[in-house]
């Protein structure tokens, strides 16, 4: 891990802080959905680490599905286009109480598209659980019922979030050194 950690200029959220907060959010969801058996829909790729930690913090039965949504390509600026794909068997959302699990809400475009997609597939209810939120960047009004951390308007990596497809495995959330983006 030493090499990639060397590319990090600042750690914003530590591994310990993440663990404590994910546990707390997991307990809250378990209470709120105690009689519901929700369907967790994790938005790939960025949420894969958060989703796997979150579901292990839940004490209620849940189903887990994955959808792929991309809006960024290999740059750090949003393209504004959201491309949504499900796995081979599709996604059965009919009548389900769904919790979308996302890595970060930035402009809100991705989640608003994913939410609409799930309602179009017949979901009964759709709530959002995001690991990070950048409220100052919002273009499309969207609110997450569950949110782990509010962050300032900085491009962050780690805990599932990438820069040019790398750095997802960092166990904390950080900002890369400026020279990494300039490469
Ligand atoms: P939105 O559609 O809300 O603008 O963007 C959501 C998506 O943009 C996230 O799922 C994530 O993939 C990407 N994104 C937004 N901000 C950041 C960031 O600070 N770091 C990284 N790595 N991805 C981001």
What's the CA gap between 124 and 118, in Å, rounded?
9
106: annotated active-site residue: yes
Task: Check residue 74 and give its pLDDT.
Answer: 46
Task: Check residue 70 and give its pLDDT.
Answer: 79
Ligand 1 atom at minimal distance to the Cα of residue 163: 22
Task: Check residue 131 and give its pLDDT.
Answer: 98
**Ligand 1 pocket residue status of 70, Cβ below 6 Å:** no
Ligand 1 atom at minimal distance to the Cα of residue 108: 3
Interval 79-134: pLDDT, tens: 567 889 998 788 999 999 999 999 999 999 999 999 999 999 999 999 999 999 99
**Ligand 1 pocket residue status of 48, Cβ below 6 Å:** no
Q: Report yes or no on whether pTM surpasses 0.75.
A: yes
Q: Calculate how far, in angstroms, residue 34's C-alpha sits from the geometric centre of ligand 1.
A: 31
> What average pLDDT is seen over the chain?
92
Task: Check residue 82 and give its pLDDT.
Answer: 86
Interval 10-44: pLDDT, tens: 999 999 999 999 999 999 999 999 999 999 999 99
Of 96 and 1, the structure prediction assigns the larger pLDDT to 96
Tell me the CA distances in angstroms from 93 to 42, 46, 52, 54, 120, one per residue in order.
Answer: 13, 21, 20, 20, 9
**Ligand 1 pocket residue status of 110, Cβ below 6 Å:** yes
Ligand 1 atom at minimal distance to the Cα of residue 102: 10
Q: HEC profile for 29-73?
A: HHHHCCCCCCEEEEEECCCHHHHHHHHHCCCCCCEEEEEEEECCC
Of 72 and 54, the structure prediction assigns the larger pLDDT to 54
Identify the band that residue 157 occupies on the pLDDT scale cut at 50, 70 and 90: very high
């Amino acid at each position: 891990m030493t090499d990639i950690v060397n590319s990090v200029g600042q750690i914003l959220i530590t591994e310990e802080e993440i663990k404590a907060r994910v546990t707390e959010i997991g307990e809250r969801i378990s209470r709120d959905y105690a009689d519901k058996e929700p369907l967790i829909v994790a938005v790939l790729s960025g949420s894969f680490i958060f989703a796997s930690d979150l579901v292990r913090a839940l004490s209620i039965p849940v189903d887990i599905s994955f959808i792929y949504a991309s809006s960024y390509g290999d740059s750090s600026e949003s393209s504004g286009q959201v491309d949504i794909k499900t796995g081979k068997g599709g996604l059965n959302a009919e009548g389900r109480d769904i919790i979308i699990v996302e890595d970060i809400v930035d402009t809100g475009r991705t989640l608003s598209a994913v939410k609409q997609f799930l309602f179009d597939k017949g979901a009964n209810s759709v709530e959002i659980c995001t690991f990070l939120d950048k409220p100052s960047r919002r273009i499309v009004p969207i609110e997450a019922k569950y949110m782990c951390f509010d962050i300032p308007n900085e491009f962050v990596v780690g805990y599932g979030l990438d820069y040019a497809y790398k750095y997802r495995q960092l166990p904390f959330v950080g900002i890369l050194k400026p020279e990494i983006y300039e490469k």
